[in-house]
Amino acid sequence: MNILSRELRSNLRGLLVWALTLALLNLLLIAVYPSMAADKEALDELMELFPEAMIRMFGMEKLSMADPIGFYGVEAYFMVVLFGGIYAAILGSGILAKEEDDKTIEFLLAKPVSRSQVIVEKLLAWILNIIALNLIIGLLSWLSFEIFVAEDFSRLTLFWMLLAPLLVHLFLAALGFFTALFFTRRKSSLSVSIGLVLGLYFINTIGQLSEKVKFLSWLTPFRYMDAGDIFADGTINPLYALLLLAASAAIVAATWLLYQRRDIAA
């Protein structure tokens, strides 16, 4: 577990920066909620004034701004999913690409480690980092709810709302991991993974805007962990969760397989 512990240490700073930034953003938004909620009727009236497209875009047809969790779903959830997703993709691709870009891979592979071991330890490293990211954000957000939100709210729904991004992040990190096989320059792997996340998010948004291309959303991980669904159902859809996990596992397996027979570029 030599590689794993090295990766955990070297990624720690990045993890804390991303996790605390996102957690603080959540804290601020949740802290604002009580003053917004003071006039609930006005808030819901305001929502009705929004153009239809905008309401769809934010998934607001299922979310009530007048509910603390609904409010969280509209204002904060997408940021955690999207920005956390960017972090995940950067992490997943960088963790492989950096060794080849810095040519330290020749150091690593000259040691008695199998390629499987390299992949597995790096995989564990990003999984643990992403769990930690969501744990930090989740705990601080929950704490903020307890401090700032005076009214009653479903802690169970909140739990699912805070857990759901984890599954999206795992998928996006797996995708980044896979792209690092083809983009071994750190700069290109970085832009490709950010591009992928933003691209998928954009596709998801288009799918939500128009009934005709609704299916597009389902090609992205975001649709499977939709804030509106979670708010409406009070839980995540277990089938969707399973699908996301299975897809992530398949991508990781493909990465593992291709890495076994890979020529390390000089």
Partner 1 sequence: MAIIKTNSLTKYYGKIRGIENVDLEVREGEIFGFIGPNGAGKSTTIRTLLNFIFPTSGSATVFGLDIVRHSREIRARVGYLPGEVNYYDDMTAGELLAYSARFYNKDCSKRIRELTELFDLDPEKKIHSLSLGNKKKVAIIQCLLHEPRLLILDEPTSGLDPLMQRHFFEILQEENKKGVTVFFSSHVLSEVERLCHRVAIIKNGRILRLEEMDRLRGSQFLKVTLTMKDPASAPPDVPGIIHSEQDNGTWRLLFNGDINQLVQELARYELLRLHLEEPPLEEVFMHYYEKEESR
Site for partner 1, rule CB under 8 A = 2, 6, 10, 102-107, 109-114, 261, 263-264, 266
CB 133 within 8 A of CB 84: yes
Distances (CA, A) of 227 to 138, 158, 210, 230, 245: 15, 11, 18, 5, 18
Tell me whether residue 187 or residue 214 sits nearer to partner 1 (CB atom): 187
Q: How far is the CB of 102 from partner 1 (least distance, A)?
A: 6
Dihedral, 91, 97, 102, 103 alpha carbons, nearest 10: 140
- Tally DSSP H helices, then E strands, for the chain: 11, 0
Q: How far is CA 233 from CA 71, 79, 157, 226, in A?
A: 16, 21, 8, 11
Angle between helices 68-75 and 115-148 (to 10 degrees): 130
Q: Which is nearer to partner 1, 41 or 263 (CB)?
A: 263
CB closer to partner 1, 121 vs 226:
121
- Least separation in angstroms between CB 108 and partner 1: 9
Q: Which is nearer to partner 1, 114 or 210 (CB)?
A: 114
Q: 65 or 125: whose CB is closer to partner 1?
A: 125
Nearer to partner 1, 75 or 99 (CB): 99
Q: How far is the CB of 107 from partner 1 (least distance, A)?
A: 6
Contact predicate 221/244, CB 8 Å: yes
CB atoms within 10 A of CB 183: 20
Q: Residue 88 CB, nearest distance to partner 1 (Å)?
A: 22
* Full DSSP string of 125-160: HHHHHHHHHHHHHHHHHHHHHHHH--S---HHHHHH
Q: In angstroms, give the least distance from the CB of 190 to partner 1.
A: 17
Minimum distance of partner 1 from residue 250's CB (angstroms): 25
